[in-house]
């Protein structure tokens, strides 16, 4: 396999992983439409690295395909704690 082909394959795999991460975060309320800027760049960077290193991409893809809107991230997700915290941070505060 040529270097260009390997690089394209890796980048495509990363893109698919990050699509899964975005869907997981949106479905679980961690990133709400119009409030993406409130999530710190370092937080997203850490979440992306965690997702890219995760061994559960097939399980994640299946879970997202089978599950509708939800309020809790799945137990297998290594970003589950981050999703729960971001969701809590994005909820409206009582006055």
Kindly tell me if the per-residue pLDDT of 95 is higher than 60.
no
Q: What is the pTM of this model?
A: 0.70
Q: Which residue did the predictor score with more confidence, 94 or 27?
A: 27
pLDDT band at residue 75 using 50, 70 and 90 as cut-offs: very high
- Tell me the pLDDT tens digit for each residue of 55-69: 999 999 999 998 877
Cβ atoms 76, 59 nearer than 8 A: yes
Alpha carbons 8 and 10: distance in angstroms, whole number: 6
Q: Is 6 helix (H, G, I), strand (E, B) or coil?
A: helix
Give the pLDDT mean for 66-85.
Answer: 87
DSSP letter for 89, please.
H
**What's the token pair of residue 78?**
């290594």
CA distance readout (Å), 78 to 3, 91, 94 = 31, 22, 30
- Tell me the pLDDT tens digit for each residue of 28-59: 877 765 555 556 677 888 899 999 999 999 99
Across 1-10, 38-47, 71-80, least confident range: 1-10
The pLDDT, as a whole number, for residue 93 is: 60
Which alpha helices (H) appear in 1-95, and where do they start and end? 3-27, 41-53, 57-66, 80-90
């Amino acid at each position: 396999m040529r270097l260009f082909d390997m690089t394209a394959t890796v980048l495509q795999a990363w893109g698919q992983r990050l699509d899964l991460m975005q869907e997981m975060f949106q479905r679980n309320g961690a990133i709400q439409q119009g409030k993406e800027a409130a999530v710190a760049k370092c937080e997203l960077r850490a979440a992306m690295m965690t997702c890219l290193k995760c061994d559960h991409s097939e399980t994640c893809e299946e879970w997202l395909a089978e599950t509708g809107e939800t309020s809790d991230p799945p137990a297998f997700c290594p970003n589950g704690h981050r999703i729960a915290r971001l969701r809590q941070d994005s909820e409206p505060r009582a006055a």
